[in-house]
Structures are given as C-alpha cells and as structure tokens.
Structure 1
Amino acid sequence: MELIASTRMYDVAPAAQAAWHALLGAAQARAGLDARFVEYRWPTPIGELWGLPGLYGAFMCGWPYALALQAGRAYTAVASVVPDWPAYQGQPRYRSEFLVRADSPWCTLADAAGSRYGWMVRDSQSGWNAPRAVLAKLAIHGGALFSESKGPYGNPRGLLRALAGNEIDLTAVDGWYLDLLRVHDADALAGLRTLAYTPWTPNPLLVAGPDVDSATAARLSRVLLTMHEDPQHAQLLRDARVARFVLPEAARYVRLIDMEREALARGYPEIR
C-alpha cells in the first residue's frame, strides 16, 4: 500500500509548505519509510483527504478526529505540534481569532451583532465548532446574531479575502494558521485586526489512517517525538516554527464534542 502525507492545513504559503515537507520528509527517512505528499487543495473538501487509503503523517482537524473516534473509525494519533511562539506556552494547543477590518469601531464580539458573518466549512474546529461555541453564549435563546451568515468560503485565505473585500464584517480563523501567515505572508492580513479569541483547545494532529497498521504509525511517531533532541534537526524545526512534537492524548479531544453539544443545548446549531 502506498503511503500518503499532507500538510494542507498549514501550507499557508510556498515557504511554509517547503518547511513542512522538509521536516516531515526527514522524519520519514529516519523512520525508514516513504510517504508521498499530496496537496488536495481547495475546492476539494479536506474531508475527502482524510478518507484516502494509506494516510500517514497528515494533519487532521481535532474535531473530525474526535468524531471519527466516537463513530469507531479510529485514526492513529502520530504526533501533535507544540508551536514555538510564546503564547502557546509550550503546549500543543491553538485557538481561533475573530477578525474584523482594522477600521472597524467594534471593541467586543457583542458589538458585531447585526453584521455579516463569514464562515469557512462546517467540519472545522477552528472555523466552525469553536466560534459557534463562543457565539452561542451571546445569542439570546439561540436566536440570530447576524444579519447574514455567509459560507462556505472553503479555506482561511478565502475568508481573509472576503473580509478585506467587504463581503463580510466578521470571521474566525485558526490562530496557528494566522501566526504562520504573519511569518510567511504578513501582507495577507493588511487592513485586518483581531477582535477576540476562542478558548485554547488541543490543536490539529498528525494522524495515520485506519488502514495503516499501528506499528508503521509508531515508527514515525517515535522519530517525531525525539527530533528536538537532535541538533541536526534544529533548523528544520525552526523553519516550520515547531518547538517539538508530543504524543497526542485522545481523551483531550473529546472536549471538542462537548463544545458542540453545549451549542446545541443553547439552541444554536448554526452560526447565524
């Protein structure tokens, strides 16, 4: 069986993609394995990527990962990234940033009531589940917060273009993605600012698909978890803005399903 890998979720710019491929390619080589990188760019839904046979060392969103576990379709958790910015405090976590245009007068999310909201896709933790959980607490009896809720825009770049182009007034984007974008293509955020944040949650993780045997997955995992101890990999880690890899705790991702349940209990199944 051919093994395939993907860094689509965090290929924020060509230099970022090159850094991820170099880092994970080195780990695969050290593990004595070879996986072909596939791009699967938008408009192909990322959910199709996670269903491909031979998935090995591909980034997967934490909420779909938890839902798959719940449904009995078990992906093997290979590794999580600890991003190397101070805000992450040495933890494999991330959050979403609510973005507005820089000239917006709003100071809080509540100020944005009645505006036009833009969302990415419905199967995203950072682009749907996390912001919905926050917005559900502001919606009175599950009612509509916005005059329009527009989507899917498909990927973070689509949301940023829509916000900058005045198609929407508020959106939420993966903060880890944005931190990488600030390094590799800061101009993409020109004229935009962060209004608020969602709570921190476990970040997307590298997985192996259900059809990849656990011993094969473990070979890559062992290499990734020790890369930060080897000076020869220091530059590869720096280029990808990775402090180190850690072993994901599957139980922590269950909380992401709880966030969905809480929004539903508040009568807020959709961002509206």
Structure 2
Amino acid sequence: MIACTRMYDVTPTVAGLWRELITRISAQAGHPLEVVDYPAPAPLDELWNRADLGAVFMCGWPFRKRSPGPQIVAAPVPVDRDCSGPSYCTDMVVDAASPYHRLEDTFGGRIAWTDAGSQSGFNAPRRMLLKFSRDGAPLYRESLGPLVTPRASLRSVLEGKADIAPLDSYFHALLRRHEPETAQRLRIVARTEPTPIPLLIASREIDPKIVEALGRAFENAAADPVLRPLLEDLCLSGFARIPDPERYGITEEWDREALAAGYPVPS
C-alpha cells in the first residue's frame, strides 16, 4: 500500500515531514505504508484510481463525486482560528505590493484559478464571487486557468500574470511556516467560508480492517509525544475520523448554485 501527500508537499522540507509522520503512524498501526512522490503536473485522477492506496490526500469535491467513493482514513485538523475541526478555507491573495486591499478592488482585473475539479482553487472562490455577479456576468476582464496547483496559483500573482488568485488556507499556513519569504509577498483580501478539508483516503480494494487500524493510528497521533513535534511543524493539532461522508455534500451544493446562476467559472 502507498501513501501520497502531493497536495500538501509545499516544500521539500514539508514533504520530508509528511514522509516521517506517515511512516511512523502506519508502522504503529501495524500496516506500514510506502510514501511515494507524485509531483505535478501528473494527473491526480490517475493516482486516485489506483487499487493500492492506503493514505492518499484527496480533495473533498472529487471525493464526493465518486460512486462508490474511496474509503476514508482520516482528515487533518489544521491550527486555524477561523476553522474548527477538519476544515479549511480559501484565501484570496494578491501581491502585497499591489494597491488592492479588498476583494472588490480587484474587480475588472485578472483572476487565476487552479483546476475545475478543485474545491479550494475553483468551487469555493466561485461561490464567493457569485454574490457580487449580476446574472452570471464576469467580474474580471480575464480568467486564467487551469493552473493546476496552489503553487502555480500564487506564482501567477507574484509574477504579475494575475491580480488575484485562490490559495488553500492550509497550504498557505504551511507556506508561512516553511517559506515565509514567499508568504510575506502575499496579502489576503478575502477568505471563503470554511468547508471540509481534503482527506486521506484508501482504495475500495483495501481491507476495511486495515483502513480502520490506520484511521485509529492517525486519530491517536496527537497524544503521542514523539509525533507531536511533527504535527506542530505541519501546522496541525492532529487528525480526525470522518464518520459521515455526507459532510462533503456542500461541495456539490455550491457547484449547483453557481451553474444555476449561469456562473460556471471564477470570472
């Protein structure tokens, strides 16, 4: 079985922290996982289709769309005053040197987005913008996407290709801790409502007893003094079990609202 943290491998240091954490937790569960690299732009759908997934990050929106869906192992709980439990937001960021201080200041400019299947990089910012749009009319003169990754999204702002872009708030927290020189060049002008965070999933083919053991081990990580420093470096208070997949239904609700309003992309 494999593990993959591609979605939150913000820097090589962060990727190493994930590797150590998952190696230790899976060993404690009695089911060691092989942590594999799967760098962008390799398509995540191909990774998620594998039959040997033991703990792989998956965005909640594609998780919700799959039927039957993969098995839930656990979800991270970020240290974030605006979110409680296994939740996250989208930070709408601009260049800190720009004149923009409110979301509305960027209207008429250029917006970037990551992928049409992303909750944080597409669906959530689209819903936030929908309340400003009249009859689905664009708010920006140019909509740039798909850029695929949060890193590419923030780069579009820093390189002057876009005036504003969405950034997964947990990715942003890791960036502030491990690459502050880049984070300091960004300013948040708006933040979406919190939604359920991407979760660690296992393939349907994996024995549910193994998934249960892995889930318990992740849930117990916060109580382990050996693992606590790793969690702190990963900006986490721990992991939570997700007993009800229906909590991810909000992703589809937001999609339906936007499409019904004639606002198909953040624009």
Which digits, 9 at most, give the CA deviation of each residue in 1:31-71, with x for residues without a partner? Answer: 11122222211111222221122111111101111111xxx
CA distance in 2, matches of 1:86, 1:125: 20
CA distance in 1, matches of 2:225, 2:76: 18
CA distance in 2, matches of 1:241, 1:99: 20
Which stretches of structure 1, 4 residues or longer, exceed 3 Å deviation after superposition? 85-89
Aligned residues: 266
Equivalent residue for 1:167?
A: 161
CA distance in 2, matches of 1:241, 1:192: 19
3-state secondary structure, aligned to 1:251: helix
Verify: 1:193 aligned to 2:191, yes or no: no
- RMSD of the alignment, in Å? 1.4
Equivalent residue for 2:253?
A: 258
CA offset at residue 207 of structure 1?
0.7
CA offset at residue 230 of structure 1?
2.6
CA offset at residue 229 of structure 1?
2.1
Q: What percent identity do the matched residue pairs reach? A: 37
The correspondence for 2:17, drawn from 16, 19, 26, is 19
Matches within 5 A, 1:44-193: 44-68=42-66, 72-89=67-84, 91-193=85-187
- With the length of structure 1 as denominator, give the TM-score of the two structures: 0.93
Amino acid at match of 1:125: Q
Equivalent residue for 1:218?
A: 212
Is the Cα–Cα contact under 8 Å of residues 160 and 189 in structure 1 kept in the other structure? Answer: no
Which digits, 9 at most, give the CA deviation of each residue in 1:63-101, with x for residues without a partner? Answer: 111111xxx222111111111344434x11100000111
Amino acid at match of 2:71: T
Amino acid at match of 1:80: A
Gaps of 5+ in 2: none
CA offset at residue 106 of structure 1?
2.8
Moved more, 241-250 or 54-63: 241-250
Is the Cα–Cα contact under 8 Å of residues 77 and 238 in structure 2 kept in the other structure? Answer: yes
Gaps of 5+ in 1: none
Is the Cα–Cα contact under 8 Å of residues 22 and 35 in structure 2 kept in the other structure? Answer: no
3-state secondary structure, aligned to 2:147: coil
